[in-house]
Structure formats: structure tokens, C-alpha cells
């Protein structure tokens, strides 16, 4: 099957990937748009993983004030160059992350920031709950670990489902932007203010 310019353009509009990347994806997948999208997503994650070790000390501090001015967020997002920090894609990503923090109220950016004592306490609570429900002793740890994973998805920003697209996590969204913009990006820190708290 010949890969037409309109097919390449269609894939580009759907994914935001570069023209040559779209052409290659379509060639690799025999012109199948859905498979090409999947190919680009997998490739994007691989490219993002390669960039993770690179220094990222440029970027922006993005604010979000919820209508009514009773809730506000500041988030620092870093990238490698000031040029990328000024691109519309980076700015849009920063706004989406600030809105996510306002909506979903995470406690930390990543699970590594959680206090080990807090994690141990959560595991103990989950084991006790399972025990109260009459679950066998042999599987209490497995149940508790499963509930802990759900807890991480609630309180860790990178593991939360994106409010605009619940099929993606914030980590997925970050990896897509890293692949698209070609630079390492880091969600450094955030603070969320709510009136009266």
C-alpha cells in the first residue's frame, strides 16, 4: 500500500507527531492508522525514557486560579531549554497540570516523596480491613498491596488519571510531551491553596 500525503497528514493531525515520524509509522504498520497511532505512542515512551537522565533546569511556574478565587495552584515544570518552555505545547501542558492539581488534589508529585511511616500505616489499615471482612491470613498482604496501589493513584500526581482524558495518567501525558518536544521534562513541585484550609 502506498502511503499518501493525506494519510500522513491525517495521522499527524491525530497525534501531533512530526511528518517523517508519521510516514515511518504508517510504513511500519502497512498504512493502518490505529496501529500507527499505537506505534507512535510506544516509540514516544521509548524516546522519553532515553531523555530522563538529561538536566532540566529551565521551565516555568504556572498558576491556576479557579473561578470564584477560592482555590489556586502554583506548579513548577522544568525542561532543558528556555525555547521549549515558551512553546504553546509546553504552556498548554503546564496549564493542564495546574488544573489537574486543582481538581484532583494530589499530595505529592511521585510516590517516592511519600513518608514510609505513612505507607506502613496505610498497609496496616488495609490488612486490618481485610481481616475484619474475614479474608484468609495468607492473602492479607496481597489485598493490602492492591489497595496501596489504588491509594498511590489517588495521592500521587503522576499516577492520577488525567481529568481531561481518564484513559491517560499524568505520567503518560508527560511522556507524550517529552517525546513530542524532544526534551526531558520534570514536574518539580506544586502547592495548592484552598480558602479556609
Q: What is the mean pLDDT of residues 22-27?
A: 82
Please check whether residues 165 and 73 belong to one and the same domain.
yes
Please check whether residues 15 and 87 belong to one and the same domain.
no
Please check whether residues 84 and 11 belong to one and the same domain.
no
Residues whose CB is less than 8 angstroms from the CB of residue 73 and which lie 6 or more positions away in sequence, other chains included: 63, 64, 98, 99, 101, 102, 190, 191, 192, 193
| Contact predicate 74/63, CB 8 Å | yes
Please check whether residues 165 and 91 belong to one and the same domain.
yes
pLDDT for 52: 54
Residues forming beta bridges with residue 77, ordered by sequence position: 60, 187
Please check whether residues 139 and 174 belong to one and the same domain.
no
Q: What is the mean pLDDT of residues 62-76?
A: 95
| Contact predicate 181/54, CB 8 Å | no
Query: Which of 105, 99, 111 has the alpha carbon at shortest distance from 150?
Result: 111
Please check whether residues 94 and 178 belong to one and the same domain.
yes
Alpha-carbon span 72 to 96, nearest angstrom: 14
The pLDDT tens digits for 37-62 are 787 777 765 555 555 555 677 899 99
Percent of the chain with pLDDT over 70: 90
Q: What is the mean pLDDT of residues 14-34?
A: 78
Task: Write down which residue in 33, 51, 69 finishes a domain.
Answer: 51
- Which pLDDT band, with edges at 50, 70 and 90, does 65 fall under? very high
pTM of whole model > 0.75?
no
User: The domain spanning residue 183 has which CATH number?
Assistant: 3.30.479.20
Please check whether residues 102 and 23 belong to one and the same domain.
no
Range of the domain at 62: 58-109+156-194
User: The domain spanning residue 15 has which CATH number?
Assistant: 1.10.8.10
Please check whether residues 94 and 177 belong to one and the same domain.
yes
Number of domains in the chain: 3
Please check whether residues 167 and 104 belong to one and the same domain.
yes
Please check whether residues 183 and 166 belong to one and the same domain.
yes
Amino acid at each position: 500500500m502506498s502511503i499518501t500525503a493525506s494519510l500522513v497528514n491525517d495521522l499527524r493531525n491525530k497525534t501531533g507527531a512530526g511528518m517523517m515520524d508519521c510516514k515511518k509509522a504508517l510504513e511500519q504498520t502497512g498504512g493502518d492508522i490505529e496501529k500507527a497511532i499505537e506505534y507512535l505512542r510506544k516509540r514516544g515512551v521509548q524516546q522519553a525514557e532515553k531523555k530522563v537522565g538529561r538536566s532540566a533546569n529551565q521551565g516555568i511556574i504556572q498558576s491556576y486560579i479557579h473561578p470564584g478565587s477560592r482555590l489556586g495552584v502554583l506548579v513548577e515544570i522544568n525542561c532543558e531549554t528556555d525555547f521549549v518552555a515558551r512553546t504553546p505545547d509546553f504552556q498548554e501542558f503546564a496549564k493542564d497540570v495546574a488544573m489537574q492539581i486543582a481538581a484532583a488534589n494530589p499530595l505529592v508529585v511521585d510516590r517516592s516523596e511519600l513518608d514510609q511511616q505513612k505507607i506502613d500505616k496505610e498497609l496496616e489499615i488495609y490488612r486490618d480491613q481485610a481481616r475484619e471482612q474475614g479474608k484468609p491470613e495468607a492473602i492479607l498482604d496481597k489485598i493490602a498491596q492492591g489497595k496501596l496501589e489504588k491509594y498511590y493513584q489517588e495521592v500521587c500526581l503522576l499516577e492520577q488519571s488525567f481529568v481531561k482524558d481518564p484513559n491517560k495518567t499524568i505520567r503518560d501525558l508527560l511522556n507524550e510531551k517529552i517525546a513530542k518536544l524532544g526534551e526531558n521534562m520534570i514536574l518539580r513541585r506544586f502547592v495548592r491553596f484552598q480558602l479556609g484550609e
